[in-house]
């Protein structure tokens, strides 16, 4: 048995225990199944409604993918601009922080009226909620560069751009990936909120319709798929980080500790 399999066993045991307790609670009459369906009913819905769930999954996955790409591009660019200009940092950073206080449900209807009821407003909402983690973690990565390396580059008469390309950017890339992993999780939430406000398809829309139609098992099935999507994207990003940034995961030598 591999080390990864062994490390996953405690989490699997906890999940199975929670599912067992949930099943017993519903089956023993602890709650109305219309309020909280049993796990076996949710599993049955995942199979019986697989066509409906899959078609709506594709819609939400597309919104999330496009929104994350837009957030990564805009967030990284903004972080670089702020990093190069202290004046812009003082002017823009407080506005970026303040933008996170605006509730997503307030933005979605406005964006729908402005951009229409198609794909665009959902992608913008996902990008907006995912943008801030990328900016913050990227700036933190730039700030955490070893000062001795910067001093060495100045000693070598390196230009500002050479220092950025050869020292600051490689050092900050792990932080960029960390911000992207955080953005992936909040992107799913943003997509659901956007679909609640203005959509005719997607898992968020399907969840809302399932609740209205007294189909709680199907509503919970959409939630299971959303959770699986978040975990899958997070795991994929972690794997990509290990493959593309191997130096970020190298164990420290005794002299570095």
pLDDT in tens, 15-24: 888 888 988 9
- Phi/psi for 21 (5° steps) reads -65, -40
Residue 245 has φ and ψ, to the nearest 5°, of: -125, 65
Report helix angle 203-212 to 50-84, nearest 10. Answer: 130
Cα(119)–Cα(215) distance, integer angstroms: 26
**Contact by Cβ (8 Å): 20, 195:** no
Helices 104-115 and 169-197: crossing angle in degrees, nearest 10, is 80
Listed by start position, the domains of the chain span 37-243
pLDDT of residue 97: 80
Rounded CA gap, 110 and 114, in Å?
6
DSSP code per residue over 78-131: HHHHHHH-HHHHHHHHHHHHHHTTS-HHHHHHHHHHHH-SSHHHHHHHHHHHHH
Of the chain, the end-to-end C-alpha distance in Å amounts to: 31
The whole-number mean pLDDT for each consecutive block of 10 residues of the chain, a chain of 257 residues, reads 63 86 84 85 92 94 93 91 86 80 73 78 88 90 87 86 89 89 89 82 91 91 93 89 74 50
Question: Distance between CA atoms of 159 and 118, rounded to whole angstroms?
Answer: 46
Element (H, E) at 171: helix 169-197
pLDDT tens, 22-41? 889 888 887 888 888 889 99
pLDDT at 145: 85
State residue 115's pLDDT score. Answer: 78
Closest CA to 188 of 62, 82, 80: 62
Fold topology of 37-243: MetI-like fold (1.10.3720)
Any idea what the Cα angle at residue 203 is, between residues 22 and 217, rounded to 5°? 30
Measured from the Cβ of residue 2, the count of other Cβ atoms closer than 10 Å reads 7
Q: Which pair of structure tokens corresponds to residue 185?
A: 């999780």
- Which residue is associated with the tokens 């000693």? 155
């Amino acid at each position: 048995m591999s080390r990864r399999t062994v490390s996953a066993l405690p989490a699997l045991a906890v999940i199975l225990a929670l599912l067992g307790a949930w099943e017993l609670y519903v089956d023993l009459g602890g709650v109305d199944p219309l309020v909280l369906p049993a796990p076996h009913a949710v599993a049955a819905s995942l199979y019986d409604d697989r066509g409906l769930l899959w078609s709506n999954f594709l819609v939400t996955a597309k919104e999330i993918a496009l929104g994350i790409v837009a957030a990564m591009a805009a967030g990284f660019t903004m972080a670089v601009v702020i990093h190069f200009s202290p004046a812009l940092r003082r002017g823009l950073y407080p506005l970026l922080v303040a933008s996170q206080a605006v509730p997503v449900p307030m933005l979605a209807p406005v964006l729908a009226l402005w951009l229409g009821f198609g794909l665009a407003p959902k992608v913008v909402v996902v990008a907006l909620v995912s943008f801030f983690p990328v900016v913050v973690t990227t700036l933190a990565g730039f700030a955490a560069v070893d000062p001795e390396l910067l001093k060495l580059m100045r000693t070598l008469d390196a230009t500002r751009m050479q220092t950025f390309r050869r020292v600051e950017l490689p050092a900050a890339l792990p932080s960029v990936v960390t911000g992207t992993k955080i953005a992936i999780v909040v992107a799913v939430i943003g997509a659901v909120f956007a679909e609640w406000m203005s959509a005719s398809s997607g898992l968020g829309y399907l969840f809302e319709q399932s609740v209205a139609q007294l189909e709680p098992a199907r509503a919970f099935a959409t939630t299971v798929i959303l959770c699986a999507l978040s975990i899958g994207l997070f795991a994929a990003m972690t794997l990509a980080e290990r493959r593309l940034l191997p130096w970020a995961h190298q164990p420290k030598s005794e002299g570095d500790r």
